[in-house]
Amino acid sequence: MQGLAEQGWEPFSHHADSDIGVLISHGFTSGPGAVMHLAHRFAEAGLNVECPLLSGHGTRWQDMIDVKAEDWLRDLAEAGQRLKARSRLVFAVGLSLGGSLVLRLAQTDPEIRGVVVINHALVFNNPLIPLAGFLKHLVASQPAIAGDIKDPASRELAYDRTPIAGVAQIHRLSRQVRQDWDKLTQPLLVFKSREDHVLPRRNATLTIQKAASRDKELVWLENSYHVATLDHDKDVIAERCLAFFTRLSK
């Protein structure tokens, strides 16, 4: 692991002469490289962009053991403040864990204009995940969950182990989001891969059903696995996001 010296871990910031700012969050054990195609597409479209590196990422998996969900939310809120300083409208986009984080951010920050989530994490197939807070004292890590990509030419830079303490934080975060559905009122765009080997489809259908948003849409991705932002449908996601931003900025 080369840490921040290896391309893919670095945060991304783009300043533009635009009223629109986009905050992007990467997923668990990964880094900004997993969502960099989106970041570049938004920058090329002339938008302000911030994509921070979440706490505990970009070094070694052991550095996530003491990180809390609140640390990740703070990372995004600080990046969001930088966007607000140069943008009239701020949108939030997140992949996997990042999707859950931007949902929580939107629940607590009504200034977020709209939210996009991609294969986000609120419910899980593994029945042991609710026990992660206890299991972390017995087992520090499990094999990596990253790299679920259909495109054989694409690779996700991520940790080679999954810290159980981090999984416990994702579960805490998911409970917070699910307890406050009534506070999620912003326009919502949900992308879900029909074939996702990490998180079940009901994350998408549950969110569409429960969110208080009046403006909400579910887009099924037909040719990607979990890390859809690096997969065959990455341009579909980018184009639908840009149309979403444009519509809501008018």
Active site residues: 96, 196, 226
Give the 3-state secondary structure of residue 215. coil
Collapsing DSSP to helix, strand or coil, 220 comes out as strand
Q: What is the Cα–Cα distance from 49 to 15, expressed in whole angstroms?
A: 7
Place of tokens 């640390």: 71
For 243, residues 6+ apart whose C-beta sits below 8 A from its C-beta are none
Q: Rounded distance, CA 40 to CA 14, Å?
A: 9
Nearest to 34 by CA among 201, 189, 228, 169: 228
* Beta strands in 42-160, from DSSP E residues, in sequence order: 48-51, 89-95, 112-118, 141-143
Residues 6+ apart with CB under 8 A from 131: none
Alpha helix (H) residue ranges in the chain? 36-44, 69-84, 97-108, 132-135, 164-179, 202-210, 234-249
